[in-house]
Structure 1
Amino acid sequence: MADLSLFTIVSTAAAVLAIAIGVLGPALAMGMAISKALEALARQPEAEKSIMRTLFIGLAMIESLAIYVLVIVLIILFRNPLLEYLVQ
């Protein structure tokens, strides 16, 4: 049973580390995308619709990466496939 507790603690720590690293990249990318969009709007205000549409599509794509990380972390936490091998 001590092995099971240790495995649970290690998998939880790995999940926390994965979500921390996995969300850092999309957060930085979103910040850069918004910054560049604001620069483009300052230079060409007449192209606002095109810039904003492209920005929102890009932000949705970036956000999907963070959601994928969340799904994998939730699988690790609640339905760990390695847990079956440890119990046997």
Structure 2
Amino acid sequence: MKKYTIALATLLASASVFAEEAATHTAAAATATGSDKGMLAIAAALCMGVAVLGGTFSQGKAASAALDGIARNPAAQDKIFTPMLLSLALIESLVILGFLVAFVKIGGLL
């Protein structure tokens, strides 16, 4: 597990190295032609895929934990159900935000 965590942290930290290069190419992406349009479509699809994947896993975990709590103590359903719905709504809002980012990315294609 420790190797997996280190590999994941390295992967996420290395993304900041390319941030400056991406900033210089932002203006060029607005006037994308040729193969750049394909890269924008891939970026939008990747953004949407990661958002949906993360949202799906977290919603499943939240629902599982809430149902487990209700199964152990049925009297606590009112105290568990409302925070669970709030957390599911917040998780879904992150997925919708990823959807909007994908549309902004693909906006250069239209």
TM range (shorter): 0.7 to 0.9
CA separation in 2, counterparts of 1:14 and 1:47? 44
User: TM-score of the superposition, structure 2-length normalised?
Assistant: 0.67
Q: State the identity as a percent.
A: 31
Q: Give 5+ residue unaligned stretches, structure 2.
A: 1-31
The reply on whether 1:75 has 2:104 as its aligned counterpart is yes
CA RMSD of aligned residues (A): 1.4
1:9-30 Cα shifts (integer Å, max 9, x gaps):
1100111111111211111000
Alignment equivalent of 2:76, drawn from 47, 65, 70: 47
Aligned length: 78
Q: For residues 19-73 of structure 1, what are the alpha-carbon distances to aligned partners after superposition, in whole Å with 9 as ceiling and x for unaligned? A: 1112111110000000001100011100111111010000001111001100010
Q: Superposition pairs for residues 4-83 of structure 1, below 5 Å?
A: 4-78=33-107, 80=108
8 Å Cα contact 2:47-2:101 kept in structure 1: no
**Runs of 4+, deviation exceeding 2 Å:** none
